[in-house]
Structure 1
Amino acid sequence: MSSPADPPSVPPLRVRTAVPADLPALVTLEQSAFAGDRLSRAQYRRHLASPSALVLAADAPGIALLGSALVFFRTGSVRARLYSIATAPAARGRGVGAALLDAAEHAAWARGCRAMRLEVRVDNAAAIALYERAGYRRIGGYPAYYDDGADAWRYEKVLP
């Protein structure tokens, strides 16, 4: 029997490669997860079809899309770029971001990449904590990187 202090039960999380049928849910998730710098329907459509991009989707049985990640690959490069991780507001703090990050790293390794880079808003403490817990180290920054003028940190992890 659970007490009021127990966290709600979470169905088993599944991370998979997104498919074109996920497009409406990906766009909805993007709108709910970010106030700006959002990917458009056309961008997602292009990334879903591109051999140089990987769109991951996190879901659970009977639940709408809980999160997504977008990774870019350059031919001949040993570095992948994590462009975005989006988590549904109701799923934050439940390991969705960590599961997507882990899946993105495994996919990059499988494609021959030996490092992953990313940018993160300097005021996004939750994302910074996630990346640092996962072994990413800060390697630089970009002033006024985002649409609203916010600065970004650049992080990198050598993939084990």
Structure 2
Amino acid sequence: EGLDLTRVAFGGDSVGATLATVLALQSVLEPATLAIKPCWQLLCYPVTDASTNSPSTELFGEGYLLETETLEWFYRHYAREAADRLDWRFSPLLAPGYPGMPPALIALAGHDPLLDEGRAYARRLQEQGLAVEVIEYAGLIHDFLRLQSVVPDIDEVYGQLTQALRAALAA
């Protein structure tokens, strides 16, 4: 009780960001299946296209925490069959469109195998007229939000993301 359904954001990091994206998409493509439509998205280094490898997958797929072999392990445990990777529920970049999607902030890591697909997803949303802010943290790796004990600048990243979320919910 007391929840303001006009001020709900979906967000997460890594696969959590993917799930937030898929739920936001579901809220506009299949609105009868979801009780809440978000007003904003906060997506940190999401998986958006499991159907193909990109140059960043090749460049950062080994030695940068999230490795290609690990990604494939996750994909095999999520997909029932290879064709599932082409479904927008698995690869949101492959959705037929994004009508009515809420604005988003997409935070990407510059040394992440998912960098190119994150950039491509942001571009696709922008091309469809959606308000999307992209912040690329050039020197960071996938899962950077969990690196506070070894990367002092992560507190600043949290501050930046928190400030953006507050502003989005206040609008």
Whether TM-score is above 0.5 comes out as: no
TM-score (norm 1): 0.30
Q: Which has the higher strand share?
A: 1
Q: Which has the higher helix share?
A: 2
